[in-house]
Amino acid sequence: MLKKEIEKALNEQIATEAAASFLYLSLASWCDTKGFEGSAAFLYQQSDEERMHMLRLFHYINNTGGSAIAPEIKKQNYKISTLADAYRLVYKSEIKVTESVNELVDLCTKQKDYSTLNFIQWYVSEQYEEEVLMKSIIDKIELVGDDGKGLFMIDQYIKTIRKENAAAEAKGGQEA
Ligand SMILES: [Fe+2]
Ligand SMILES: [Fe+2]
């Protein structure tokens, strides 16, 4: 049986993953309208993955005697004008998600809820992968700066890492 405090924290994590999903969705839309088709495809897929992260939490809460709550989605307010801006925003968001996952680890340890701690480990490694990936994309974009051709090449590259990412994700899903 899930402790109330843990249930509340897991529901907050649901809201965090949902917000991440919609952030990716809105950035995918921005890329789509700016001709960055590789990034658009990548970010639409990231949005789906974040929804999957949210659903894992739903099932865990409901399977352990709690009640998962569908969160309210607030409108995203941000200003971006370059591809680098979009990925910096994503990176910042992923760092925040990592912080909330770490807080969950803390809480589970304090409450001696080792089952939820075990469940949360998947998110710990997922966050590590996401941060590394986003940082590597930013590094590449910064290398080319404002060069149109360079940005085009990077956008094409982003289209290809999408698959590797999907493969890693599928593997993570199996192991969980
Ligand atoms: Fe996530
Ligand atoms: Fe993420």
Looking from the CA of 109 toward its CB, the CA atoms found within 13 Å total: 7
CA of 20 to the centre of ligand 2 (A): 7
Q: Is the pTM here over 0.85, yes or no?
A: yes
CA of 81 to the centre of ligand 1 (A): 25
Q: What is the pLDDT of residue 83?
A: 97
Q: Which domain holds residue 50?
A: 4-175
Q: What is the pLDDT of residue 146?
A: 86
Q: What is the pLDDT of residue 94?
A: 98
Q: What is the pLDDT of residue 164?
A: 60
Q: What is the pLDDT of residue 68?
A: 98
Q: What is the pLDDT of residue 75?
A: 87
103 contacts 9 by C-beta, under 8 angstroms = yes
Which ligand is closest to the CA of 52, given by its number? 1
Q: What is the pLDDT of residue 158?
A: 94
Q: What is the pLDDT of residue 169?
A: 57
Q: What is the pLDDT of residue 165?
A: 59
- Tally the domains of the chain: 1
Output the six-digit token pair for 25. Answer: 């969705």
CA of 82 to the centre of ligand 1 (A): 24
Tell me: the pLDDT tens digits for 106-126?
A: 999 999 999 999 999 999 999
Q: What is the pLDDT of residue 121?
A: 98
CA of 32 to the centre of ligand 2 (A): 20
157 contacts 136 by C-beta, under 8 angstroms = no
pLDDT < 70 regions, the chain: 162-176
CATH number for position 121 = 1.20.1260.10
Which ligand is closest to the CA of 94, given by its number? 2
